[in-house]
Structure 1
């Protein structure tokens, strides 16, 4: 099928050669893999294209709250997910004297009854592997860096750096904060003077982060591993522009992260970024700078960040930018964005993974509701409805993530935020948790979740679309 860039979008049903929609997914991160698995469940053809040669064991850990539980059960992954993760009920925030100052409740002992699921922590590589194992190997292509994308009345087309080219009906950009799909789509919109000025501004960052995960440890080496629940401890530096945390995993490892707060905002386009050091050597330098920082842990030994670094394979340590922005334009024609490609949260709020999965399920519902051989107009309307469904929640979570980022930052504003979190009435935190837990998107084309918690789900527009997966 050759992509026709001039044909009237309203009559292109006559030139497609597939009955159901074919979706090209760029990016094999959490958003892309979740979307792929959902489309597979809906019997919609898809292919995934990932620029990396393989999924590397990088990153730290991911927190998934109760409002992903219905989707995980729908996908048939609950039992294995529980075995690979740990329950998280609180984040312990302390100071450099290793004393806990206050706790932030992120779950509860009765979370399953009240919310329909626990808040759980799982390492990023383990969660990716769980999703990847559900997909046929021939549907996921590694080493596919996208050079160019095109779309027209009757299809989309991508060209990769290895010379291969692919065509489909829909292009889904799940390729991260610096999405090639978004950049190509925005370039086209900019030429047509259709791109909002705010979307043309580079993705900003003000902090950098060092992340890693240790090798499996014994309880004798790190006593916190004996606890069934995840032990999540965070330290706010007193006279230094850093905050750092450590958290135990179901794999008997300790995941950790350290944030350095920069004085000014920057971006990848700025001279300050181009003059910065990135890569293995820069990571090693930063590791040496923070080795002496104390961490909170049980037992008699006074652990430091250096202990965690020494227990972590060098190839599993990385230095990353902490960017944050909600883009206003999520789609154009047959191209649509999800996950970090359209909204990048600061990870301090722990919301990126949950919202990537929420994007995937809402988008999958709209794709599944499309007729056979959908026209460009029908696809575009579905994508606009997908954004309307998601944008309010995304913007709310974005503000909350900024609040958590501020909490571990420096200055009077951070001090005020910590004071509020420390002394906030339990009823206020409970109301916050219940509001979050009320938003729990499900796939319309799968049997609905049968768990009936005390906190009911709010109305989900895409759940009431006409489903076609099993006609």
Structure 2
């Protein structure tokens, strides 16, 4: 049940993705006035393949009374097994004891089910569809948002939750550039070095894939031989497989394709990549052709492998909601107080964001890199580095498990306790250490 509305603060959220819905859900509980502007018209159709939520975000779901529902649509990740294309084992990560260590399992689910769960908690009147943000203006009185259909909306705060190619970001960068305040690093195009093809199958007979009927998930990762591909197969609920094929772009192609957006990729490009990987060997037997043919075409999409995922956007939402709630305790909301709130948000989340990007980059190389240094690092990390070192890495990654400050806190059940929210000090997240990290730095992507 949401609190009484705190009428002196009004928030607009551009985008009804997972991050935008999480923020909306929290503002609903905090009693803060908000409206979501979503560019797609009509009913919201959740898209995507699988998504994993680690222990950092699950205390929030428990606070919101949604943990049981989250568990009902997901499986605990028990292990990750890495294989060569000839099916020889490279190594594996045992994640079975994570729930004892951190209080929750790392869980995997299909993205549409998670989307529907979050959407079910947002009042329909709070989301306005068919509203493509095209321009923004801000001054001491607030922000004015103009949409492509000539409608406009005013609020105290606008939150850009509209994806990697955010229109809100583009407008902000334009204004900063006009004032000569935009850093050079932000003038460069969005960098990426992977293409991904993802999908979710229809239910598959467990006779052919026995692992599908298990209550836990054992993820299988295959590293291609003499080809710049890796592919994942992930058992989901209801006897379905989530799958992902990752294509590592050559350096020359990375430079040439900065201008490409995922929205530019239509059915023809999806079909071309699907045809290119049909003969790839499947860890469960046969080839990926059987998996692809079991996947409805509307559940296959080609996407950019973004550095920072939806889980980080959801953690961003927790931080921002806490700060906005603090802002509502003031008697008046001024431009200066909003600026102070955003500065506090930046201080809280900037290092987490940098750490997430670094961790994602290292994990991408660990799980799919094809350079000889990456192969050596992968083998070392999985087979030579002591388990205590791996545990220390996870402890650093999962020490920050934030909760909504305006809701009753849930008990920290893990053996490795979360850092108090008021004392969290975040350094760069390290997914590798010692020699492994030095090798990565020497052979980093441009």
TM-score, with normalisation over the residues of structure 2? 0.88
Q: Unaligned regions of 5+ residues in structure 2, if any?
A: 1-5, 425-446
Can you list the C-alpha shifts for 1:49-85, whole angstroms capped at 9, x where unaligned? 1112344343211111112121111111001101110
Q: Residue deviations 1:221-279, cap 9 Å, x none?
A: 432211111121110001101001110111321111101111126679958749x9821
Structure 1 residue 403, shift from structure 2 partner = 1.1
Residue 91 (1) aligns with residue 48 (2): no
Native 8 Å contact 1:28 1:175 kept in 2: yes
1:319 to 267, 288, 302: 302
The corresponding residue for 2:24 is: 36
Task: Note the 1:244-393 alignment, pairs <5 A.
Answer: 244-264=231-251, 270=257, 273=260, 278-297=265-284, 302-324=285-307, 345=308, 352-370=309-327, 371-393=330-352
Structure 1 residue 163 displacement after superposition = 2.4
Residues 176-185 or 409-418, more deviating:
409-418
Could you tell me which residue of structure 2 aligns to residue 59 of structure 1? 48
- Asked if 1:49 is matched to 2:37, the reply is yes
CA distance in 1, matches of 2:339, 2:354: 22
- When residues 219 and 356 of structure 1 are mapped into structure 2, their CA distance, relative to the original with a 3 A threshold, is same
Q: Residue 20 of structure 1 aligns to a residue in which SS?
A: strand
Asked if the contact 1:58/1:212 (under 8 Å) is kept, the reply is no
The match for 2:375 is 415
The C-alpha deviation readout for 1:379-402, integer Å capped at 9, x for no partner, is 111111111111222222221211
1:203 and 1:267 in contact (8 A); partners too = no
> Which shows bigger deviation, 410-419 or 184-193?
410-419
Q: What residue is the counterpart of 1:158 in the other structure?
A: 145
Question: What is the CA–CA distance in structure 2 between the aligned matches of 1:28 and 1:182, rounded to whole Å?
Answer: 16
- C-alpha deviations, 1:136-185, integer Å up to 9, x for none? 01111222111111111111111112222111110000111110000001
| Alpha-carbon contact 2:17-2:162 (below 8 Å) kept | yes
How far apart are the structure 2 equivalents of 1:263 and 1:256?
Answer: 23
Per-residue deviation, residues 401-428 of structure 1 (Å, max 9, x unmatched): 1112112121122112212222221111
Match of residue 440 from structure 2: none
Cα pair distance change 1:265/1:44, threshold 3 Å: farther
Post-superposition Cα deviations, 1:195-222, rounded to whole Å, max 9, x if no partner, equal 1111111101121110111112231243
1:430 and 2:372 are equivalent in the alignment: no
**TM-score (norm. length: structure 1):** 0.83
**Is the 2:46–2:115 contact (alpha carbons within 8 Å) kept by the matching residues of 1?**
no
Q: Counterpart of 1:88 in 2: which secondary structure?
A: strand
Over residues 258-315 of structure 1, what are the superposed CA-to-partner deviations in whole Å (9 max), with x where a residue is unaligned?
Answer: 01111126679958749x9821011111111110001212xxxx23211111001111
Tell me the equivalent position of 2:432. none
Report the CA distance shift for 1:55/1:363 in structure 2 as closer, same or farther (over 3 A): same
How far apart are the structure 1 equivalents of 2:216 and 2:246?
24
Residue equivalent to 1:175: 162
Paired residues, what number?
413
Note the residue ranges of structure 1 that are not aligned, 5 or more in a row. 1-17, 325-344, 346-351, 464-471
Q: Identify the match of residue 397 of structure 1 among 356, 367, 370.
A: 356
Among 116, 119, 132, the alignment partner of 2:103 is 116
2:91–2:379 CA contact under 8 A, matched in 1: no
Paired position in structure 2 for 1:224: 211
What is the alpha-carbon distance in structure 1 between the residues aligned to residue 316 and residue 132 of structure 2? 23
Q: Which residue of 2 aligns with 1:141?
A: 128
Tell me: CA distance 1:462–1:29, structure 2 relative to 1, closer, same or farther (3 Å). Answer: farther
